[in-house]
Amino acid sequence: MTERQQELAARIAGRRGAVRGPFRVWLHSPEMCERAESLGAFARFDCSLPGHLRELALLMAARNWDAQYSWNAHAHQAIEAGIPEAAVKAIAERREAAFDNEADQAFYRFCREVLDEHFVSDATFASALEHFGRKGLVDTIGALGNFTMLGMCLNTFQVDLQPDREPPFPDVRGFERVVPDGSRPQP
């Protein structure tokens, strides 16, 4: 590594415990790595959203992009932070998740519409705005954008799937989509 790459690797390891996952890829472009790490640190640790919703946003973007590395690294953390295990399972299986907390449900619906529809209905926006304010919604979009970039990186560069982990999604094996009988879909 160059001196600049070593400096960034030390900073990343200091904040995150080690240089792993996408950072091993992003270090090939120190400028990109520095900016991605900064946005990622904000989305994960410093944005205005409560910790459990940061984890939920990460899982939703990870599932949207079939990013198994991110999912495996955060599914347990999301549950520990307060996301119901049944909701985590529903998201993994691409089913509708349900939350007892009205704010959590509004957040889930907002993220789901952004990721699935690329637009948000007026009713969903109003509900999320009521719970999180403009700053919270801007932070949500920033977090989803960051976690989307993360998922694209992990899949494109085929970052370690952690062979000791059960594949988290029923329709993905390795870095390919599979159909229910286990075969590969036809193009």
Query: How many CA atoms lie less than 13 Å away from 110 in the CB half-sphere?
Result: 29
CATH of domain 50-170: 1.20.1290.10
Say whether pLDDT at 166 is over 80: yes
For 88-133, how does the pLDDT look when each residue is reduced to its tens digit (9 = 90+)? 999 999 999 999 999 999 999 999 999 999 999 999 999 999 999 9
Q: Where are the domains of the chain?
A: 1-46, 50-170
Element (H, E) at 177: strand 176-177
pLDDT given at position 178: 85
Element (H, E) at 176: strand 176-177
Helices and strands, number each (H, E), in the chain: 8, 2
To the nearest whole number, what is the mean pLDDT of the chain?
93
Closest Cα to residue 111, out of 132, 83, 133, 140? 140
User: 25-29, 67-71, 175-179 — which is least confidently predicted?
Assistant: 175-179
For 71-86, how does the pLDDT look when each residue is reduced to its tens digit (9 = 90+)? 999 999 999 999 999 9
136 vs 44 pLDDT, higher one:
136
CA distance 134 to 111: 15
